[in-house]
Every structure is written in structure tokens, then in C-alpha cells.
Structure 1
Amino acid sequence: MMPQKPSERGAALLSVLLMVAVLAVIAATTLDRLRLSSKLSANGNALAQARMFTYAAEAIAVARIEDLVARDAAQTTLSGDWLGKAQSIPIPIGSATAAARDAGNCFNLNSLVTEKDGRYLASATGQDQMTSLLVVLGTNENTARVVVAAAADWADSDITPLPNSVEDDGYRSAATPYLTANRLYAHPSELRAVKGVTPAIYAKLQDWICALPDPVLSPLNVNTLLPEQAPLLAMLFPPGKMNLTLARSYLAKRPSNGYGSLIRFWAAPEIAALEPSPLVQGQVKLTSNYFLLNTIVSFGELKLAGQSMIVASPAPARVVWRSWGEEE
């Protein structure tokens, strides 16, 4: 056998070292992917478990809402200190809280239309109320009416734009073209897609709007409407007709056990003087039918925030939609 030259031995050693380096990289990559896979699997399991706890919270909330509604069929009041109060829910690992609020005390975006023969038609009353709300929140009335007309056109069934509004043609010219929904709003965040709804306008509205599953005027329960929600009471009247100070003070002096009668609510001189229309008088309620449950589940490193819409009537109470997102 011919002895190897020093240069050949050096080349062989270099090849071995190169092979070892490649194997090390492969091993490191494999271990990293294994760790990532294990992490994703653990996160997936944690997410699934957190959602199960959310379902449990929903079941508890549904039972308690049924009890609340059954307690007094004539009116839903703040009795029991249930509104917005976070309740701790015992779970084996981590923590969970749930808080319910009256989901009817908001401006229902779907009140911008009414249903007739299976079609959605623009509602003048719904548009007037959203305009009043925007004005109360500090938006110029002319700007508000343009935005509101576009918001109604988004949900109505036809393709004919309302005055000062747009339908599909107004959205095809966008940088990323899209079309109007021509159906009920599924979630209040959908309003951001409507032409004219700037980030500033949406920021004003986001705490006051909702998307109830029915195209009905916002069913405000004056037994649970809080003084800080005075803009919702003011929106029932034309812009500027009811000032916020009046609305806030009237809600603040509500009887502790509720009004008991809508006649009692509307008979107050400061309210009667505003001459509410019969349609508005019929919209105001003493009972609540829609409830929004907010849950937060902390499980390991995961913190899951959930929202569930619960409808109480017709019985039994039930969840009609839910959404989840990671709590920041």
C-alpha cells in the first residue's frame, strides 16, 4: 500500500470535519423543529382546553340568565348586581372569569334595515338614530348622514344607492376592490369596511354599536341602561333634541327596583316634553333578551379572551355566536 501524502491526509480530515459539521447542522435543525412541533402541540392542546373552559362558562351563564329572566317576567333589573361584574370560575389549572352585560343596550347596526318579504330595506328610523348617536359623540351631522347612508346600503338587499351613498360601484374602485355585503351585519367590526367610516369615526362608535341577529330597532332596557350610557338614550331623538346632561340625570334617578311600567318612564315631564314617536316608545323595553358574555381563560402561557352572544327568548336561552382571541 502506498503511503498517503500529507496533502491527501489533510483533505480526508477536512472532508470528515465537513461531514461532521453538516451532521451537526442537520441534528440541530431536527431538534429545533422537534421543539417547535412540541411547542405547537402543547399550544394546540392548551387552546383546546381553554375553549372547553369557555364552553363551561357559557353553560353556567345560560343557566343564570334563564334564572334572571324567570325571576320577573315583567322586567329585567340590576337586582343581583349581575351587570358587568366579573365572576371567577374554578378550573383545575389556571383561572377563568366571566362577566355578562345587557347586549341590547347599544345601537344595533342591523336596525339600519327592516325585513319585508325576505328582503332587507333601508330603515329611515334606524338611520336617524345612528345619525343622532354620531352627532352626540361629536361628528358633524352632514358627515354623519353620509356615513349612515353608506352603512344602510351595506346591509340592504338592493344595489341602488341611497342619496349621498354608494353601492358596489363605490367599492370596485378601491385599491383592493370588494363589494357590499347586502345582508345583515355579522359583527360590529364589519362597519370598518363601509365607505366613509374612517378609523376616527369607528373609534367613536365601537363602544356603542352591536350587531344583533335581528333587524330590529335597538331594544334599550331602561332598567339596565347606565347613566354613562346616556348617548344611547339621546339617540332616540333627533340630533340636539335631548342633551346628554338631561339623559344622564334622568337615568341616574331611576327607581332602584326598576320602572315597573313604561308609562311611568315616559310620563316624566322632561321626557314627555320631547314628544317621542310611537315607534320609539315601542322600542324601549323593561326586559332584556340579548346578553353578551365576556370570558378570560388563563391556561399555562395562554390567555384566551372570548365573547358569546346569548339570546334568552324564546326559551331555552342559547348561544347564537361566539368569538375568541388572544388576550394581550
Structure 2
Amino acid sequence: MFTNRKGIVLISVLLIVLILSAISVSIGQYYFLSFTREGYVDFQNNALQYSRNLETYALHEMKKEFKFSKQFFPKNHVLLTQPMYIELENGTLHATLADATNCFNINSLFDYRDQQYIANSEAVAGFHKLLRLLEFDHNAIDSLTDQILDWVDVDDQPRSNGLEDYYYIGPMHAAKQFTSKRLFYHLSELKSLPATRDIAWQVFSEHFCVRPVTRDNYAINLNTLESGDVFLLASVYPNLSLDDAASIIGSIPEEGFGSTGQLTDAFPNFDFSTTHVPVSLTTKWFYLDTNITFQEYSASSRTLININNNNANIVSRSYNGI
């Protein structure tokens, strides 16, 4: 009897030790997770502060550069060729400025008239040509175009290949929502359209963008186009082939064309006067891309900056990891 009691006591002690060990492990994991979260929150706060400080510095430098209106803006401009790199304690900070006009602006598909957004037929033609050059079939192009136009226009009448509220709030659509009836704020909004499922998202991220639009501020800056922009340039001009676009881009001097006269002299056999979307030799739009690393954490941000009346203004921000 005495021996049995000793066994019961031993088992009880072992159970208590086991329970306490499990509790201590659980508490240890909880505190480790808390410390990890605290470290990440501190990193996020610091990253946000670094990003905002870089924005302030970039705005200051851009205001100095655009103190007077620029008739042309080349790819070798100091704002584009001198990225900022700073060594931090246990981390790095890297920032670059880029011309934000070297893409097809989805919002250029619209004109604002009589207090509503209507289709810009010229821009739509350029949009169609770009997708054809990217080898998408007519059905996919027509569906995407009509769904974009229906997403923004004020009426509830769908186009031939478009969709209106009846679809987006109906049983066929999992996330119930209404069409925006406004311009796009971010390229990712296109993911709400069923037609985008037929086109690889990489196509959108490489060739398209979203910026606020008026007739005088969505021109593409020819001077900063690179070899990867041949599809964009070919879509801008009605009669321009990919080979001709590649030839033009390859002939753009690092210091840029200073005037349309220089451009036409360089290509006397081509008519630059007719375009689907405006083309310029300068830019008013820039992306400030910031990347921050600290130990095992990383974060990035993109700031859209507009030059207006010789002042630099922040239009939008997007963050990843902040």
C-alpha cells in the first residue's frame, strides 16, 4: 500500500512538471512573439519616417530643378541618374526617381465633359493597338475595354462586352460591389474586372499605369523611353510599327531632343503630328521608389509626384511592409 502511494505521488509530480513545462513553453512563445511584433512595429515606424523624410528631400530637390519650366527632360537628367543610397545601422536605404509617364495611363481612356466621364476614342484606339501588339485576341481586347469603360461611366447600361452593377452585385460575383463611376485610383482596381483574368497581370504592371488625368497632363515623355517601351511608343502613333518604334527609341540621345524640330529633323520621313495620346519631350510626373531594409525586415514605398506651376506636389502614396 505504501509503495502504491509512492508511485501515485511520483506520477503526480511528473504530470505537474509536464504541465508546468508546457505552460512555460507557451509563455515563452508568447513573449517571443510579442518581442518580434514589437521589433516589427518599431521597424514600421522608422521605415515610415525614413520614407517621409526622403519625400521631403525629393520635393525640395525637384522644386529647385523645376524652378523654371523645362521644355525637355532627358533620360540623363541628374534627378534620374543619381539614386540615393544610405547605410543605416544594421540596414540600408535606397531611393530612386523615375519618369512616371512611360506607360499607358488607363485613365487616359476618358474625357471629362458635361460633368461625366466619356470614352476618349483616340486613346481607346491606342489602347486597342497596344493590346494587339501584345498579341491578345479581339474578344479579350473588346471585353477588357468595355468593362473598363462601364466601370467608370455614370450610366448603368452595359456596352456590348461590358458589365454594370447587375453583374457586380449579382450571384455570379463573390465580392459584392458597385461600379466606381470615377477614374481609377490604383492599377490594382483592374482586378475587379473579370476580363483581366484572361490577361497575365505582368502585362498590366509592365505596360500600364494609373495617374490622374486632364488633357494637358497625361502626355508620354518620348525623351525618357527605353528599349522596353517599344510597344508603348508603337501604340501611340497610328502608323508606327514595332521596328520603327525600336529605331526611334534607339536613336534618342542621352541628352534628349530639345525641341520637336530636332525630333523631326532626326526622322524626316515620319509624321509625329498624329497620335492616339499626347506625346511630349518633358514630364510633369515622377515616381519616388524607396526600399528600406533593417536586419530581417524590409519595406518599400512608391510616391507619385506631380510638377505643377513649378512646384512639386505629392499626389498619392502606396506602401509595402509599412
Pairwise same-fold verdict (TM > 0.5)? yes
- TM alignment of 1:1-328, pairs within 5 A: 5-70=2-67, 73-83=70-80, 86-171=83-168, 172-179=170-177, 180-198=179-197, 200-214=199-213, 216=215, 218-238=218-238, 241-265=239-263, 268-272=267-271, 276=274, 280=277, 283-326=278-321
Deviations 1:105-138 (A, max 9, x none): 2111111222234432232222222111111112
Which amino acid in 1 is paired with 2:182?
R
CA distance in 2, matches of 1:177, 1:253: 48
Which amino acid in 2 is paired with 1:296?
N
CA distance in 2, matches of 1:293, 1:308: 5
How many residues are matched? 318
Which amino acid in 2 is paired with 1:235?
S
CA distance in 2, matches of 1:94, 1:177: 40
- The alpha-carbon deviation at position 177 of structure 1 amounts to 4.2
- The alpha-carbon deviation at position 29 of structure 1 amounts to 0.8
CA distance in 2, matches of 1:23, 1:201: 54
Structure 1 segments, 4+ long, off by >6 Å, are none
Relative to the length of structure 1, the TM-score reads: 0.86
Contact 2:67 2:311 in 1 (8 A): no
Contact 1:150 1:165 in 2 (8 A): yes
Distance 1:270 1:145, change over 3 A: farther
- The alpha-carbon deviation at position 72 of structure 1 amounts to 5.3
Distance 1:91 1:57, change over 3 A: farther
Distance 1:318 1:275, change over 3 A: closer
Which amino acid in 2 is paired with 1:247?
A
CA distance in 1, matches of 2:3, 2:87: 74
Unpaired stretches in structure 1, ≥5 consecutive residues:
none
Distance 1:65 1:22, change over 3 A: same
Distance 1:35 1:201, change over 3 A: closer
- The alpha-carbon deviation at position 255 of structure 1 amounts to 4.4
CA distance in 2, matches of 1:88, 1:189: 29
Which amino acid in 1 is paired with 2:191?
R
Identity in percent? 26
Relative to the length of structure 2, the TM-score reads: 0.88
